[in-house]
Amino acid sequence: MRMLGAEVIGVESGSRTLKDAINEAMRDWVTNVRTSHYLLGSVLGAHPYPTMVRDFQAVIGREARAQILEAEKRLPTHLYACVGGGSNSIGLFYEFLKDADVKLVGIEAGGRGNGLGEHAARLAAHQGFSGARPGVLQGTYTYVLQNEDGQIASTHSISAGLDYPAIGPEHAWLADQRRAEYAAVSDQAALDAAQLLSPTEGIIPALESAHALAGLIERLPQFKPSDLVIMNLSGRGDKDMDTYTRLLGKLT
Amino acid sequence: MTIALTSRIARRFADLRAAGELGIITYITAGDPTLSATRDYVLALAEAGADVIELGVPFSDPLADGPTIQRASERALKSGTTLAGVIALVHQIRQSSQVPLVLFSYFNPILQMGLKKFAAVASEAGADGVLVTDLTPEESAEYREIMQAHHLDTIFLAAPTSTDERLVKIAACSSGFLYLISRTGVTGAKEALPDDLPALLRRVRNFTQLPIAVGFGISLPVHVSVLGGLADAAVVGSALVSEIEKAASPEAAATALRARVRALKEAASQGLSRREATR
């Protein structure tokens, strides 16, 4: 980020994850609101931010839909994307919402276990991930990982971008409507997927995007030859080289 | 309306108005460091003359709070404080004090308890009002209806950036008093009050008959002196929480809190003539 010209201020408060960075950004914003504007890279925060970010990101789905129609002359059967707050996924899904036959699949961070604090899976109770209930965090009413008293839970994911206790509210709605389905994959599955993609395609994926790929790989046996899948490889692995080195370096 | 007139908060503001005196509202985080210490602190604050006491319900993500109250919330959560525990504390305090009590919370703990259950048990315990920092007027209809049914005042926040249209909305949703944030930002003690605060107070006055309490950044008797004649009450929070944080023992903290509030009350009573001159 610094190489790209940004000033980066680390967050020292709370659990020092994405939610704490958002807390600090909001605190800074309300303090300097007369001279600054709040920008968030995900579909989180109070209305109208989730809608705004969705509309900005929707270019992903518009371009993907146009390109696949041109290349394949038909719509895809499945879309896959990772879901932290859920901006790349809602951006991909949005243009296809009206296409009822296109299955939308969001992949969350299953972390290192099912217990509260071990994962960041808000919509994967069907896989045994515990602790998500409707609640309010940072101005959004959505599924939130929390304890019985309404205190927001700590989360774990190998991927910083998925390591967040709430999910963008439109995903909560799509899940409740059963228009999209959500599932979680583990840290290890994401790492394995990254190690498969890198030598196969020469693309080192971001750890977030590696979750989407891992979700797709887990479901490969269920696919038919006629299925046509778009998976959103939403980020590059440059930012994750430290993690890859730390976790995979010892394998060599 | 008879209910509003007989609530502890309304009675206290009526008394203050009659005396021409600025009220002192104090905030501390409940459960910092323990709920039993908080009970002693509340009684100390009341004894020293605090007119209303806000009990902060600790929350894991206190967005509206600066570092002092963030640390207090962490300490309170570490000691196992829950919303139910804070309500039980209100009940305990009511055994020995009739000081007006406001629960100052973020929305999620209340939502998880259930709005109806919360209102019933908080009211039964003896709470007088609720301030939910992250609940906007637009989303508050159901909440207000339920709180009102249990005779709990609903206090909303107005900010320097609130437009006239928004102040109308905030005033319509508020009961007990209106909480005016003195400056843009989060909670925390500051040296000086913003220069535009008097003009802000005069503007907000146009939109409400409710008492106006000014908070955020107020810590010193000199701040209170400036507010006399302009506001109905000053809210002091982080400065008191700091006393608790740095005290060597709960007894020392209680003593420091008493001294702080007495000094603030003294400044408030001396601001009397200024208030009558401008009202």
Looking at this protein, which amino acid is placed at residue B2?
Answer: T
In the structure, what pLDDT confidence band is assigned to residue B276 with cuts at 50, 70 and 90?
A: very low
CB contact under 8 A, A30 and B185: yes
Q: Which residue of A lies nearest to B136 if distances are taken between CA atoms?
A: A139
Residue of B84, B112, B185 lying closest to A31 (CB–CB): B185
Q: Which residues of B are catalytic?
A: 54, 65
Burial class (CB in 10 A: 0-12, 13-18, 19+), B95: exposed
Q: Which long-range contacts (CB under 8 A, 24 or more apart) does B75-81 make?
A: B75/B29, B75/B31, B75/B32, B75/B33, B76/B29, B76/B30, B76/B31, B76/B32, B76/B33, B77/A151, B77/B31, B79/B31, B79/B32, B79/B33, B79/B34, B79/B35, B80/B31, B81/B30, B81/B31, B81/B32, B81/B35, B81/B57
Query: What CATH number has the domain bearing residue A219?
Result: 3.40.50.1100
Q: Do A46 and B61 touch (CB under 8 A)?
A: no
Residues 6 or more apart in contact with residue A55 via CB below 8 angstroms:
none
> What is the C-alpha to C-alpha distance for residues B90 and B111, in angstroms, rounded to an integer?
19
Residue A220: domain span: 52-248
Tokens of A59: 């270019």
Residues 6+ apart with CB under 8 A from A105: A78, A79, A80, A81, A180, A181, A182, A183, A215, A219
**Minimal Cβ distance to A14: which of B61, B109, B185:** B61
pLDDT score of B274 more than 80: no
* Cβ-count burial A185-213 (b if 16+ within 10 Å, e if not): bbbebbbbbbeebbeeeeebbbbbbbbbb
Q: Is A109 helix (H, G, I), strand (E, B) or coil?
A: strand
Selecting from B77, B110, B185 the residue whose C-beta is nearest the C-beta of A151 gives B77
- Report strand pairing: A140-145 vs A132-137: antiparallel
| Domain assignment of residue A28, yes or no | no
Q: Is residue A119 part of a domain?
A: yes
Name the band, by pLDDT with cuts 50, 70 and 90, for residue B2.
very low
CA geometry: angle B137, B138, B143, nearest 5 deg: 65
Output the pLDDT for position B197. Answer: 94
Q: Which chain B residues are within 8 Å of A137, Cβ to Cβ?
A: 61, 108
Residue B161 has its nearest CB partner, among A23, A33, A135, at A33
CA distance B93 to A229: 63
Residue A140 lies in a domain: yes
| Residue A184 covered by a domain | yes
On whether the CB atoms of residues B56 and B73 are closer than 8 A, the answer is yes
Mean pLDDT by groups of 10 residues along chain A of 252 residues = 92 85 92 91 92 97 98 98 97 98 98 96 96 96 98 95 96 98 98 97 98 98 97 96 88 54
Nearest CA in chain B to A17: B61
The pTM for the full model equals: 0.94
Structure tokens at B152: 């709990």
In this complex, do A149 and B82 lie within 8 Å of one another by their Cβ atoms? yes
pLDDT given at position A74: 98
Say yes or no to pLDDT of B279 above 50: no
CA dist A233 and A242 (Å) reads 20
Interface of B with A (CB under 8 A): 59-61, 63-64, 66-67, 70, 77, 82-84, 106-113, 134, 136, 161, 184-186
- DSSP state at residue A17: S
What's the rounded Cα separation, in Å, for the pair B174 and B155?
A: 5
pLDDT of residue B228: 87
- Give chain B's largest Cα–Cα span: 49
* Per-residue pLDDT tens over the stretch B238-248: 999 999 999 99
**Per the domain annotation, does A11 fall within a domain?**
no
- For chain A, the first-to-last Cα distance in angstroms comes to 29
| B131 vs A223: CA distance, rounded Å | 53
Instruction: Write phi, then psi, for A151 (nearest 5 degrees).
Output: -85, 135
Residue positions counted in chain A:
252
Tell me how many residue pairs between chain A and chain B have CB atoms under 8 A apart. 66
Q: What is the pLDDT of residue A24?
A: 93
CA distance A241 to A223: 32
User: A80 to chain B nearest CA, in Å?
Assistant: 31
Contact B112 A133 (CB under 8 A): yes
**Cβ of B185 and A34 within 8 Å?**
no
Contact residues, chain B, for A25 at CB < 8 Å: none
Interface predicted TM-score (ipTM) of this complex, two decimals: 0.93
User: Could you tell me which of A86, A216, A84 has the C-alpha nearest to residue A158?
Assistant: A84
Average pLDDT over chain B reads: 93
User: What chain A residue is nearest to B66 in terms of C-alpha separation?
Assistant: A27
Q: How many domains does chain A have?
A: 1
- For residue range B136-195, list pLDDT tens digits in order: 999 999 999 999 999 999 999 999 999 999 999 999 999 999 999 999 999 988 888 899
Q: Is residue A185 part of a domain?
A: yes
Selected residue of B60, B65, B190 to mutate for chain A interface (largest A Cβ count, 10 A): B60
Chain B: residue nearest A30 by CA?
Answer: B185
Closest CA to A159 of A92, A244, A87, A90: A244
Q: What does the block give as tokens for A14? A: 């709370």
CB-nearest partner of B61 from A19, A31, A133: A19
Distance from CA of B259 to the nearest CA of A (A): 31
Q: Which of B174, B264, B186 is nearest to B227 (CA)?
A: B264
In a domain, A33, yes or no: no
Mean pLDDT on B23-40: 98
Contacts of A152 in chain B (CB under 8 A): 60-61, 108
Flag if A32 and B77 touch (Cβ within 8 Å). Answer: no
Contacts of B118 by beta carbon, 8 Å cutoff, 6+ apart: B83, B87, B110
Q: CB count, 10 Å around CB of B199?
A: 12
B63 neighbourhood in chain A, CB within 8 Å:
23, 26-27, 138
Q: Which residues of B touch A13 (CB under 8 A)?
A: 67, 70
Decide which of B276 and A237 is more confident: A237
In a domain, A2, yes or no: no
Q: Which of A13, A33, A135 is closest, CB to CB, to B112?
A: A135
Flag if A152 and B60 touch (Cβ within 8 Å). Answer: yes
